[in-house]
Every structure is written in C-alpha cells, then in structure tokens.
Amino acid sequence: MPARLRIATPEQLAAAFEDGDLRLLTKHFMAVLEQRAPGHSVEVRVPPYAAVQVIPGVRHTRGTPPAVVEMDAPTWLALATGELGWHDAEAAGRLRASGERADLSPYLPLA
C-alpha cells in the first residue's frame, strides 16, 4: 500500500509547478480529490504515481473495483487545474472511465 497522500504546502506546490514535478503535483491533486470527495466507490489511478478511492457509495475492498478511472499524469494535472474538461478528455481518449459514478466532472477542477 502506498504512503498516504498529502496536500503540498503552497511553497512546495509553487516549486513543483516551476520544476514540472509530476510526482508531487499528481499526489497533491489526488490528496485534494480524496479530501473533497471522500468515499470508496471509485478508484482513480494515475500510474505510476498514485491511486485513491473516492466518491461516496459502496465500499470496495478487493479485486477490481466496480468503478475505475485511469489516466496519465499530464491528463490528471490538466483536469485538476481546469486546463482540460472531463468530457473533452474522455472524447479525446485521454482517460478511461468505467462503472457507476466514474464521471469526476462534478469534482473538477481542483485548483
């Protein structure tokens, strides 16, 4: 199990944006999503950096969750910062979303 996600300090966040630190930025915005949409019904994956379960509903504990969202880090950061809309990313094939509650658009952007 990966270490718990943490929200970055403003200084860490500014440095990460300046340096293009995908790892820190990905984990920061995953932690923000986890805080804003607590739950366990949707697993959001941004390999190789992080995965988190969010959105209220049925708790998932083993195997493949009933709802999964997966994308690369640049797509996640674009969604989290509002540079890219959920439906545009989905239409462009930049993310894969399956299952009930897998639409994260009500929770985005996070910045």
Counted domains in the chain? 1
The CA R_g of the chain, rounded to the nearest whole Å, is: 13
Give the CA distances from residue 89 to residues 48, 84, 98, in Å, rounded to whole numbers and listed in that order. Answer: 19, 7, 14
* Residue range of the domain that includes 42: 10-107
pLDDT at 24: 97
What is the per-residue pLDDT across 43-99, written as a single tens digit (0 to 9) for each?
A: 999 999 999 999 988 766 667 778 999 999 999 999 999 999 999 999 999 999 999
Q: Crossing angle of helices 10-19/22-36, nearest 10°? A: 140
- In a domain, residue 3? The reply is no
What is the per-residue pLDDT across 13-56, written as a single tens digit (0 to 9) for each?
A: 999 999 999 999 999 999 999 999 998 889 999 999 999 999 98
- In a domain, residue 56? The reply is yes
